[in-house]
Structure 1
Amino acid sequence: MRDFQFPGRSPVRATEAMAATSHPLATLAAIDMLRSGGNAMDAAVCAAAVQGVVEPQSTGIGGDCFVLYCPKGEGEVLAFNGSGRSPAAATADWYLGKGYAELPGTGPHAVTVPGAIDAWCRLLEDHGKKGIDAALAPATRYAEQGYVVHDRVAFDWADDAALLAADEHAARMFLPEGKAPLAGDMHRQPELAKTLRIIASQGRAGFYEGEVADDLVARLRALGGLHALDDFAETKGDYVQSVNSSYRGYDIHQMPPNNQGMTALIMLNVLSGFTLASLEPNSAQRLHLEIEAGRLAYQDRDTFIGDQSFVHVPVEQLLSGAYADRLRAAIDPLRAMTHLPRLELPRSDTVYISVVDRDRNAVSFINSTFGSFGSGVVGPKTGVILQNRGSSFRLTEGHPNRIAPRKRPMHTIMPGMATQNGRVVMPFGVMGGGYQPFGHVHLLTNMFDFGMDPQQALDAPRVFYKDNAVLAERSIPVEAIAGLRQRGHQVSVAEEPYGGGQLVLIDWEKGTLTGASDPRKDGCAIGY
């Protein structure tokens, strides 16, 4: 139990249903959907749509999504890959011939075709109780009538004024009076409201065909992009087999490649050989082991993970116990490794949604436009912000993530699901682009090794390793920082908090739900 004399909040507890998102309006929309007869999938899509309006820097219908879903909380965990692909005309030779050394982080060449709307429509048709029209109704209302800009949204928005100003349409829609809105300001997106109405009326075809697709492709082509209407019309998500591994008696499920989810599983496999529970949660000893396991796992991520329709990814080998033993043997508890390559990861924004309904349908749902405000390219008539997921591709010959026509890039957004004895224990996720495997592992070890409740596990201080240094949140104890430096780590204070997360914990014996939402975002968990 937390000390009530210190700042913080308790987890949220209920019996019927629970939703947790990174924005209060999205959580409320999910709860309203559940109480009006919708199920967990309806609620998750509804919440994601709202966040595409009220958290425009993080997500939207111009992005991608991945989903883990367990009907009635028992049996097989279904996985849906809603990530888009590169244009049919996109080849590494084309970019190399134009003098590109790497894919740009913004602009038309960073844009892959959005997969979110195809995924939303398919998932609602297969697993929802209501249609896309009902799911989009609250988002449409906020886009048209306006919404209040929340504090974390304003914090992120202010950092992106230069990106938005570079695109006349983005500037018109997202820099009212020439500047980013402040916390407490009202903001409207009438062009996006019109687009949401078209999709509500026409379904998937309303986005990938007709006037919406025409607007987006015309804008991309005008900026030099390679996109064609056929690239949009032929977009299709896929049901795939989740990958999983065991940790402390729980089965942890992740998305398979092209997703980076197995990076977290490699980390957990390595850490399973250490007695973490004997260490202090915020000690240098614990953080060092986590950092080193992460450095090894990220090296494998960048070496092996790509679109399995194009390359072979040795999933079984990478998740084997023998492989984990080999990686673990490389870790010195008292000294940082010096032989690993530099780990460079771009900043990104995402939303993660966790929902469990009264029938215990459990949804782990993540949606993103990748970088803050994605590519910075906005449809002038539609108000759709297009993602920059294509910036993850490589141009290196032989690399598994080398760009090719209609190929999916290595993808960072990763929903998680924990099960035990064939039942869902917890749909969970931690946002933050490349940080997400670290975030998943830190959350799970906080709970399963150190016995923290869900809210404590999300509140706990975080570190991340990138650019050859440990970046520590200000809440990391000074003794831990000193201990990491003694082990050879360069340690700096992180400029921004790491990620944000949500989860819903199911107690089948008591018949209760416990929800939590990360204080690094504006959101909350609500149950009834």
Structure 2
Amino acid sequence: MKNLLLLIGLLLPCALFAQDRVTGFNHATRSEVLAQNGMACTSQPLATQVAVDILKNGGNAIDAAIAANATLGLMEPTGSGIGGDIFAIVWDAKTKQLYGLNGSGRSPKNISLEYFKNENIDKIPAYGPLPVSVPGCVDGWFELHERFGQMKMKDILAPAISYAENGFPVSELIAYYWGRSVQFHAKYPNVTSTYTTNGVAPKKGDVFRNTYLANTYKQLAKNGRDYFYKGELAKTTTQFIQEQGGFLSMEDMAEHHSQWVDPVSINYRGYDIWELPPNGQGITALQMLNILKGYQFSKSEYGSSRHLHLVTEAKKLAFEDRAMYYADMDMQNVPVEELLSETYAQQRRSQINNQKAGLYKAGTISNGETVYLTVADKWGNMVSLIQSNYRGMGSGMVPPEQGFMLQNRGELFSLNQDDANVLEPGKRPFHTIIPAFVTKDEKPIMSFGVMGGDFQPQGHVQIIMNIIDFGMNIQEAGDAPRFSHSGSSQPTGYRAESKGQINLETGFDDMTILGLTKKGHKVGFSPGDYGGYQAIWRDHERGIYIGASESRKDGMAAGY
């Protein structure tokens, strides 16, 4: 017994010491990745390597991002695929400008509010044929490639095709979600034949092949985007959806187009933070930061009750506006400029009580499971790209022998005629997936994103504050414990987001929890709800890239 106690006494200091890194910061789980010529960060290590290989073989950041996204559609179908939508922010080294791509698809033209009323459906279902909107990912690839790419598409898609034909070992976290998704979606046609081997979903380390997707990628490489939107694949897809009781048509597919948009920004303590305008929720993060820059935070305040309280109150305010105003800007007047104005931020900030959790309504305006990746190349191009099928794998609708599932993004439409995001034919739904970018003095500084549905703008704000306010490096900024405010399902006079609770990851101390409860917050714990994060920082002075990929996902950062 004495020897055992002695051994514990000897090992205990080592165990305690192992919790902290010798270098770097306390929250980081690994070092940042440093490279001179190029960098790629994705949520799956093999996809990261595909991107780096493209860079080494003469491709630029845009080519590598498309290649990585295609590989993720194969290897991480639990959060991505060509049945979904895509958004990107590109820093073009030649013109020294940011460009935004909105690659979201629209609702079928034959769908209507009357249909749901006649069927006594008061909310668009999450699964099945009804939430299916036009998948925008493939057109987004070809738009990005036509404007900025330099390798041939057949070479860009070749690595994903090879993995789809020859197989790849499924990584740990993806295997977990894959098994759950297949079990849930197995009732729908073609799910088992596409996503299992002999009826069994792959487990960690199992080598999986998707020959259907390999063939689809080959056709895209050979025949271009029209194969997907006007050719045989479009016929197969629309016929299948209509057989299942949905509305997607050949006309809907043929008329789809992505849209180039101007990113919008606010300045946060000397850094310009960039997001895309609605129909996505990116400006929610900008609204939150605009409110928060009216407060000062010391580096030691990270994780304090004051820190979490103020971020949560800013989130509640911004999400009320999100619910009221955000929609497809081609069909709705969204007052982006006013929502992002200093005057409006001050007005919203004045409603916050520093000592008490509040309930809020939307402000008055005068005029009315996802994957993220980022790539940078030796020429200075940088890409911030996010892509998703929405709820995990998507709608459950798998066109026969095509190798992918269609998204269920149409679920996010409202069936309330008075809402900005009300369902209309040919309309883009409200979107949760948002890429982000940071510049300083008109130079690109950081490309980053955080996955996780409604959490994404909250995650963006936490990353920015971790770096700018709390002095963390980009790896620690992603690894540091996160918190998320979730809304109540029973709003009473106020939008749901003003109620609800703060969910915490492990790592916040008891004094923080006590301080939050004293301010009137309900505090809970919800593991797995805090997304995933990748980032690339550009060090102009030393001519290097710094990459980060957090431990909540299977991914990694790599460069050369």
Task: Please indicate the TM-score interval, normalised by the length of the shorter structure.
Answer: over 0.9
Counterparts of 1:119 and 1:291 in 2: how far apart (Å)? Answer: 34
| Amino acid paired to 2:358 | M
Quote the residue 1:499 is aligned against.
Answer: 531
- 1:145-167: per-residue Cα shift (whole Å, max 9, x none)? 11111111012223323422121
- 1:166-206: per-residue Cα shift (whole Å, max 9, x none)? 21311222243444321111211111111111111001012
| Amino acid paired to 2:263 | S
**1:263 to 2:284 alignment:** yes
The answer on whether the counterparts of 2:372 and 2:385 sit within 8 Å (CA) in structure 1 is yes
Q: Shift in Å at residue 130 of structure 1?
A: 1.0
**1:421 to 2:441 alignment:** yes
Q: Shift in Å at residue 441 of structure 1?
A: 0.4
Counterparts of 1:475 and 1:194 in 2: how far apart (Å)? Answer: 46
Quote the residue 1:431 is aligned against.
Answer: 451
Quote the residue 2:477 is aligned against.
Answer: 457
**1:513 to 2:545 alignment:** yes
If you compute each CA radius of gyration, which structure gives the higher value, 1 or 2?
2
Counterparts of 1:131 and 1:106 in 2: how far apart (Å)? Answer: 36
SS at match of 2:130: helix
The answer on whether the counterparts of 2:395 and 2:408 sit within 8 Å (CA) in structure 1 is yes
Quote the residue 2:509 is aligned against.
Answer: 477
Counterparts of 1:279 and 1:314 in 2: how far apart (Å)? Answer: 37
Q: Cα distance 1:236–1:337, how it changes in 2: closer, same or farther (>3 A)?
A: same
Counterparts of 2:160 and 2:60 in 1: how far apart (Å)? Answer: 18
- 1:482-513: per-residue Cα shift (whole Å, max 9, x none)? 22122111111113141001111011111111
| Amino acid paired to 2:397 | V
Counterparts of 1:393 and 1:44 in 2: how far apart (Å)? Answer: 29
SS at match of 1:37: coil
Counterparts of 1:167 and 1:73 in 2: how far apart (Å)? Answer: 48
Quote the residue 1:345 is aligned against.
Answer: none
The answer on whether the counterparts of 2:111 and 2:247 sit within 8 Å (CA) in structure 1 is yes
Quote the residue 2:257 is aligned against.
Answer: 236
- 1:226-277: per-residue Cα shift (whole Å, max 9, x none)? 1111111111001111111110101111111111100000000000001123
Counterparts of 1:425 and 1:339 in 2: how far apart (Å)? Answer: 35
Unaligned stretches of 5+ residues in structure 2 = 1-19, 363-368, 489-499
- 1:390-414: per-residue Cα shift (whole Å, max 9, x none)? 0110010121111111100011111
Q: Counterparts of 1:99-498 in structure 2 under 5 Å?
A: 99-277=120-298, 279-339=300-360, 349-466=369-486, 467=488, 468-498=500-530
- 1:328-379: per-residue Cα shift (whole Å, max 9, x none)? 11111211113459xxxxxxx1111111111111111111111111111111
Unaligned stretches of 5+ residues in structure 1 = 342-348
Q: Shift in Å at residue 75 of structure 1?
A: 3.1
The answer on whether the counterparts of 2:190 and 2:398 sit within 8 Å (CA) in structure 1 is yes
Q: Shift in Å at residue 87 of structure 1?
A: 0.6
Counterparts of 1:270 and 1:73 in 2: how far apart (Å)? Answer: 34
Q: Shift in Å at residue 479 of structure 1?
A: 2.6
Counterparts of 1:122 and 1:339 in 2: how far apart (Å)? Answer: 41
Counterparts of 2:95 and 2:227 in 1: how far apart (Å)? Answer: 35
The answer on whether the counterparts of 2:66 and 2:156 sit within 8 Å (CA) in structure 1 is yes
- 1:101-154: per-residue Cα shift (whole Å, max 9, x none)? 011111111111001101101111110011221121111111111111111101
Aligned length in residues: 520
Q: Compute the TM-score of the two structures, normalised by the length of structure 2.
A: 0.90
RMSD: 1.5
SS at match of 2:81: coil
SS at match of 1:109: coil
- 1:308-335: per-residue Cα shift (whole Å, max 9, x none)? 1111001111001111111111111211
The answer on whether the counterparts of 2:189 and 2:397 sit within 8 Å (CA) in structure 1 is no
The answer on whether the counterparts of 2:317 and 2:360 sit within 8 Å (CA) in structure 1 is no
Quote the residue 1:15 is aligned against.
Answer: 36
SS at match of 2:400: coil
Quote the residue 2:72 is aligned against.
Answer: 51
Q: Shift in Å at residue 381 of structure 1?
A: 1.8
The answer on whether the counterparts of 2:394 and 2:408 sit within 8 Å (CA) in structure 1 is yes
Q: Cα distance 1:432–1:73, how it changes in 2: closer, same or farther (>3 A)?
A: farther
- 1:401-437: per-residue Cα shift (whole Å, max 9, x none)? 1111110001111110101111100111111111100
The answer on whether the counterparts of 1:164 and 1:175 sit within 8 Å (CA) in structure 2 is no
Quote the residue 2:56 is aligned against.
Answer: 35
The answer on whether the counterparts of 1:79 and 1:255 sit within 8 Å (CA) in structure 2 is yes
Counterparts of 2:159 and 2:426 in 1: how far apart (Å)? Answer: 33
Counterparts of 2:297 and 2:179 in 1: how far apart (Å)? Answer: 39
The answer on whether the counterparts of 2:320 and 2:360 sit within 8 Å (CA) in structure 1 is no
